[in-house]
Amino acid sequence: MANNTADHPPGNSVTEIDQDGDFGITMIQLRDLMELRSGEAVSKIAECYGDVQGICRRLKTSTIEGLSANPTDLEKRYTVFGKNFIPPKKPKTFLQLVWEALQDVTLIILEVAAIISLGLSFYHPQGEGKDNCGQASGGVEDEGEAQAGWIEGAAILFSVIIVVLVTAFNDWSKEKQFRGLQNRIEKEQKFTVIRKGQVIQISVAEIVVGDIAQIKYGDLLPADGILIQGNDLKIDESSLTGESDHVRKSLEKDPMLLSGTHVMEGSGRMVVTAVGMNSQTGIIVTLLGATGEDEKKVKKAKTQDGIALEIQPLKSEEGAETEEKEEKEKKKVNVSKKEKSVLQSKLTRLAVQIGKAGLIMSAVTVIILILYFVIDTFGVQGHKWTAECTPIYVQYFVKFFIIGVTVLVVAVPEGLPLAVTISLAYSVKKMMKDNNLVRHLDACETMGNATAICSDKTGTLTMNRMTVVQAYIGDTHYKNVPEPGAINPETLELLVNSISINSAYTTKIMPPEMEGGLPRHVGNKTECSLLGLVLDLKRDYQPIRDEIPEEKLYKVYTFNSSRKSMSTVLKNATGPGFRMYSKGASEIVLRKCSHVLDASGQPRAFKAKDRDEMVRKVIEPMACDGLRTICVAMRNFTTEPDWDNEAEILNDLTCICVVGIEDPVRHEVPEAIAKCQRAGITVRMVTGDNINTARAIATKCGILQPGEDFLCMEGKEFNQQIRNDKGEVEQERLDKVWPKLRVLARSSPTDKHTLVKGIIDSTVGETRQVVAVTGDGTNDGPALKKADVGFAMGIAGTDVAKEASDIILTDDNFTSIVKAVMWGRNVYDSISKFLQFQLTVNVVAVIVAFTGACITQDSPLKAVQMLWVNLIMDTLASLALATEPPTESLLLRKPYGRNKPLISRTMMKNILGHAIYQLVITFTLLFAGEKLFNIDNGRNAPLHSPPSEHYTIIFNVFVMMQLFNEINARKIHGERNVFEGIYRNPIFCSVVLGTFVLQIVIVQFGGKPFSCTALTIDQWLWCVFIGVGELLWGQLISAIPTHHLKFLKEAGHGIPKNEFSEEVLTEGENEIDIAEMELRRGQILWFRGLNRIQTQMDVVYTFQTGQTPVPGALRRQPSVVSQHNDAKTVSSPTHVGISSSSLSANSAVAAGPPAPASSSTTGN
């Protein structure tokens, strides 16, 4: 079975191509050709074009030299065949966003109330002014006042308009910001093509039909193409066809490569035949776009975890929009299957609780007001209900209704989603500077809760700049790289040839970018270290590669995670037979060696005891120095064997040498790991290296400390300990292993996935674990998806790993993970700060409105004033408190974990403590304010009476207290210095000052609409003085030790373990969120509409799952419940149908054993 390659006809070089002539093949012909598969395609190519070369000739390209990179030629190709991007959908217009914001039920109720109020204020019945309408008759003091009755209704409408515009503007700016992020990521996405005979990397959008693209393990194909030459190429086409098996590609059987599919093994070259809208993915996206309604039928994929994934395969400028619409569509039909992050599920539960309380309070307020009025008017005063009095009574009822709705508006913290959104958006922007590119917004906040990090070794903890420092050649163990003269010439020749040929030709060592710098390593770093050894031995690998180009390689067994070796077969030029060069992990390759080259370069027998001695004397000492050991071997075949029988072929090898490769630990890593450990985060190392190397590196990093009894084990032993006799993973067994495990060596991707899943599902310990995972290889995909937060390497990571991840480390550095933890905790703290502030405002405003209304028949804070407090305090406070920069002190406390409540006991102490101060002040002013300030009593004022100084002072003092309490809210852990670092947050300072200025304007010039009257300078100074009292009161509260206040309840818990009822666990793949289940209960179904959070969270959802900065994203959804569903490992893939409302009818979701992620879709 020959290496797949197309013969290269002589003379077909770039220079001979007539640039101006028409192409010998049309776009339609290519499109039709790309729709064929395997045998059909091969016969069609043979019949119409002869072979792939024929297509290349017609496309005026050379299989060796590629395109000429002539701008006019490229422009012509763009014109004829199209560009490689799908035009983005139009973003939602501002008016659409305004319309969406108007759907909020609370706002609709307010609008209705305001319109009724407006209507009634213009209606002046005959009976007005008569005494027979009871206390209502005092409603009008003069004609001018009667005319001003419309102002309250108009002011409420105006406030509603402001709220709607603010909400819409926020949505609009978020969408704009994330489109920018989307575009930035697309620009950064590069692909390797050959132009003018040079291998270059160009942006995916610049690829044209006719380009010769180099493809390798881990790539996501950006365009359709036909294979020209391939080595052991296997493609995962599940995103397009639904077939989860990897498809082997070869010139003879199936040369068709499709955009959006993943290279899972091997390498090769292809000629690009369709781009953008004409590629297979583009066609599918076009079909989806055409129907609109079918957005939600975008291909579903199955994963080994039984979680439905969405694939949006093409690198396009379109990811954000399609997916956002698709999310919206899906949300309508699939609420119960929505999963929430840790913070979101806590917030939803808290919002439900607050909403219930607010609803009850507002209903009771309205009922008491109406009853009091009815009993007083018709009972005590004994009036009759007459037709002429009806409008006046209705006006009163409307006023009561407005007060009730206002109480509800203030009770529901609709600023909360805004605070979450602002905090996350701000953090994401800043994290970019810290080398964290966040792809799923919720990952940013989840990272703050992380309790465990499972990290790769190579490239993350180490520099990924590998160099050979020791070697065992010809029976001699060299502690440094030997001189060429010390090695037998024949052995040296074999070694140099083996390394030069048996490595990816894309791996090279380039001259340094700047003088005095280190040479640049391009491609696989381990192979670079071996090429470096060739250069150290004063030889050059390039002439050997030029002599034996890739086309002449007979067969290549590329490296993969199960083989752990790479082999290349050459046909002997002189006589019959073949020679195979191999390299790989020393323990694995040495087991397959039957001979070893001695000092004279002659093979001698290599038996089991020799191998054991070599392991003891050579490999273990190297590994204990923290070196990775690689064995280089060869084998000669006299006759052609069965190349598919790998076990037989990779046997009977002759060992040429064993090298020890050093990958130094990054100098900043030990400190970063120490920070993690101080912050209560356990760092575990999961690596494919042998156990001695892993242990040495773990000790250098500080993962293992001398004198601690933590476990280091190999994948094999790990599996023996956690699996039962049937080979199934048992959670109880795993729970005995993972708490002490620190290093897992020689681990397979499946081991990594099993470990991560086991830790997440585990219920041992006080809190449930939140796990972050780092990975770079295609095989890390399953573990990255399974983790609560997946980090992919931006430099060394493959496209597949990046897609499965939530955050991309643009510098591949572990320190960036520590920064992500800091930002994540900061988000969590910002939300808590905002909650502390918000709930104090809410508690006070609701109680004041409720008691005031019940005692004085009127709320001391008018509807418009409440809306001002609500809107400005909410929006501006969320901006001020959500943009606090993080500090190192965040890393000095333990992680919150899943079950820790959002509102701790300390916060509850602060909320209630400040609420008491504010309530005492407010009620003192309400019932004795006229005496204290020597002003007229504002209580029991009739309908439409002018604003009083008394009530203006109450309103002003209330706002001043909130303003100074906002400074108190900056600290949530009981710190005394609330001003610490305030100058580092200019947004906070400007918000506080801005609110103060606006308050002055409202009080002095707000007049009738705001129910305010201008105050004197003395009254202002008293208001500010009472406000400053908040800061002093805050000091008093922080002096009270929290542990003495046992009666204080915490609120906003995560989901406790015992709430996972059997019923939920048996729901299978439905993944019902507990918070959503609570929402379903009959008595509060209505609340779902009222809860503004549902509406405004759309923004957050858009980030979380809608925007996929690296398109093609396999969507991962972290949910507590899904993790419990996953606990049932199904040994064979089982298909579970999901209702057609959420999936296209014939899509399926599979739960199967951990295998590399694949996807199941409807066929084309």
Q: What are the distances in angstroms from CA 540 to CA 498, 529, 569?
A: 12, 14, 21
The yes-or-no verdict on residue 1062 having pLDDT over 50 is no
Identify whether the C-beta of residue 1096 lies closer than 8 Å to the C-beta of residue 414.
yes
Task: Look at residue 149 in the predicted model and tell me its pLDDT.
Answer: 58
Provide the CA 409 distance to its chain's centre, in angstroms. 32
Average pLDDT in the chain = 75
Task: Look at residue 1058 in the predicted model and tell me its pLDDT.
Answer: 44
Low-confidence winner among 19-28, 813-822, 970-979 (lowest mean pLDDT): 19-28
Identify whether the C-beta of residue 383 lies closer than 8 Å to the C-beta of residue 375.
no
Identify whether the C-beta of residue 501 lies closer than 8 Å to the C-beta of residue 482.
no
CA pair distance 470, 706, nearest whole angstrom: 27
Range list of β-strands (E), 609-681: 627-637, 653-662
Task: Look at residue 19 in the predicted model and tell me its pLDDT.
Answer: 41
Task: Look at residue 323 in the predicted model and tell me its pLDDT.
Answer: 36
Write the single-letter amino acid at 17: I
SS3 596: strand
When pLDDT is averaged across residues 152-173 and rounded to a whole number, the result is: 74
Identify whether the C-beta of residue 507 lies closer than 8 Å to the C-beta of residue 669.
no
Task: Look at residue 918 in the predicted model and tell me its pLDDT.
Answer: 92
Sequence-distant (6+) residues with CB within 8 A of 519 are 509, 510, 511, 512, 532
CA pair distance 335, 348, nearest whole angstrom: 14
Q: Which residue has the tokens 């009257």?
A: 1013
The yes-or-no verdict on residue 853 having pLDDT over 70 is yes
Phi-psi region of 538 (alpha: psi -120 to 50; beta: other; left: phi over 0): left
Strand partners, 214: 269
When pLDDT is averaged across residues 252-281 and rounded to a whole number, the result is: 85
Task: Look at residue 268 in the predicted model and tell me its pLDDT.
Answer: 87
The yes-or-no verdict on residue 983 having pLDDT over 70 is yes
The yes-or-no verdict on residue 15 having pLDDT over 60 is no
Identify whether the C-beta of residue 761 lies closer than 8 Å to the C-beta of residue 730.
no
Range list of β-strands (E), 169-294: 190-195, 198-203, 212-216, 224-236, 247-249, 256-257, 262-274
Identify whether the C-beta of residue 190 lies closer than 8 Å to the C-beta of residue 152.
no
249: confidence class by pLDDT, cuts 50, 70, 90: confident
160: confidence class by pLDDT, cuts 50, 70, 90: confident
CA pair distance 1115, 312, nearest whole angstrom: 9
When pLDDT is averaged across residues 304-332 and rounded to a whole number, the result is: 33
Structure tokens at 479: 């502690």
Sequence-distant (6+) residues with CB within 8 A of 452 are 681, 682, 683, 684, 759, 769, 770, 771, 772
Q: How much of the chain, in percent, has pLDDT values that exceed 70?
A: 75
Question: For the chain, percent helix, then strand, then coil, each to nearest 5?
Answer: 50, 15, 35
Task: Look at residue 315 in the predicted model and tell me its pLDDT.
Answer: 34
Task: Look at residue 328 in the predicted model and tell me its pLDDT.
Answer: 35
- Count other C-beta atoms under 10 Å from residue 166's C-beta: 16
Sequence-distant (6+) residues with CB within 8 A of 621 are none
135 phi/psi in degrees, rounded to 5: -65, -15
* Residue of 184 and 9 predicted with greater confidence: 184
DSSP symbols for 707-724: T---EEEEHHHHHHHHB-
Work out the angle between the directed axes of helices 150-188 and 105-121 (0-180°, nearest 10): 150
- Count other C-beta atoms under 10 Å from residue 284's C-beta: 22
522-548 confidence digits (pLDDT tens): 778 888 999 999 998 889 998 998 888
The yes-or-no verdict on residue 630 having pLDDT over 50 is yes
310: confidence class by pLDDT, cuts 50, 70, 90: very low
Provide the CA 1030 distance to its chain's centre, in angstroms. 39
Low-confidence winner among 280-284, 529-533, 657-661, 780-784 (lowest mean pLDDT): 280-284
Low-confidence winner among 246-250, 492-496, 526-530, 578-582 (lowest mean pLDDT): 246-250
Task: Look at residue 917 in the predicted model and tell me its pLDDT.
Answer: 93
In the set 224, 456, 812, 829, the catalytic residue is: 456
The yes-or-no verdict on residue 632 having pLDDT over 90 is yes
The yes-or-no verdict on residue 1110 having pLDDT over 80 is no
Identify whether the C-beta of residue 408 lies closer than 8 Å to the C-beta of residue 870.
no
Structure tokens at 228: 């020209």
871 phi/psi in degrees, rounded to 5: -70, -55
Identify whether the C-beta of residue 505 lies closer than 8 Å to the C-beta of residue 550.
yes
Give the per-residue SS3 of 541-562.
CHHHHHHCCHHHCCEEECCCCC
Identify whether the C-beta of residue 1098 lies closer than 8 Å to the C-beta of residue 171.
yes
Our answer to whether residue 456 is catalytic in this structure is yes
Instruction: List the helix and strand counts (H, then E) for the chain.
Output: 41, 31
Q: Is 932 exposed, middle or buried (0-12, 13-18, 19+ CB in 10 A)?
A: exposed
Low-confidence winner among 247-256, 956-965, 1016-1025 (lowest mean pLDDT): 247-256
The yes-or-no verdict on residue 961 having pLDDT over 80 is yes
- Count other C-beta atoms under 10 Å from residue 379's C-beta: 9
Task: Look at residue 289 in the predicted model and tell me its pLDDT.
Answer: 63
675-689 confidence digits (pLDDT tens): 999 999 999 999 888
Phi-psi region of 683 (alpha: psi -120 to 50; beta: other; left: phi over 0): beta
Task: Look at residue 1059 in the predicted model and tell me its pLDDT.
Answer: 43
747-797 confidence digits (pLDDT tens): 887 888 889 999 988 888 777 888 999 887 777 778 888 898 999 887 777
Work out the angle between the directed axes of helices 27-34 and 38-49 (0-180°, nearest 10): 150
* Residue of 421 and 749 predicted with greater confidence: 749
Q: Which residue has the tokens 């990594």?
A: 752
Write the single-letter amino acid at 313: P
* Residue of 470 and 551 predicted with greater confidence: 470
1064: confidence class by pLDDT, cuts 50, 70, 90: very low
Task: Look at residue 996 in the predicted model and tell me its pLDDT.
Answer: 92
CA pair distance 631, 651, nearest whole angstrom: 14
* Residue of 1083 and 1046 predicted with greater confidence: 1046
645 phi/psi in degrees, rounded to 5: -90, 80
Q: Is 263 exposed, middle or buried (0-12, 13-18, 19+ CB in 10 A)?
A: buried
- Count other C-beta atoms under 10 Å from residue 902's C-beta: 21
Structure tokens at 862: 């008018």
Identify whether the C-beta of residue 809 lies closer than 8 Å to the C-beta of residue 794.
yes
Q: β-pairing, 627-637 with 578-585?
A: antiparallel
CA pair distance 349, 898, nearest whole angstrom: 13
Task: Look at residue 956 in the predicted model and tell me its pLDDT.
Answer: 92
Residue of 740, 735, 767 lying closest to 754 (CA atoms): 735
409-420 confidence digits (pLDDT tens): 667 666 676 677
The yes-or-no verdict on residue 1014 having pLDDT over 80 is yes
- For the whole prediction, is pTM greater than 0.85? no
Task: Look at residue 500 in the predicted model and tell me its pLDDT.
Answer: 92
Cβ-count burial 1084-1116 (b if 16+ within 10 Å, e if not): beebbebbbbbbbbbbbbbbbbbbbbbbbbbbb
Sign of CA dihedral 1040, 1042, 1045, 1047: positive
339-384 confidence digits (pLDDT tens): 456 676 777 777 777 778 878 888 888 888 888 888 888 887 777 7
Task: Look at residue 920 in the predicted model and tell me its pLDDT.
Answer: 93
Task: Look at residue 742 in the predicted model and tell me its pLDDT.
Answer: 92
* Residue of 129 and 91 predicted with greater confidence: 91
CA pair distance 458, 701, nearest whole angstrom: 12
The yes-or-no verdict on residue 1136 having pLDDT over 70 is no
Strand partners, 809: 436, 793
When pLDDT is averaged across residues 160-182 and rounded to a whole number, the result is: 73
Identify whether the C-beta of residue 191 lies closer than 8 Å to the C-beta of residue 202.
yes
SS3 636: strand
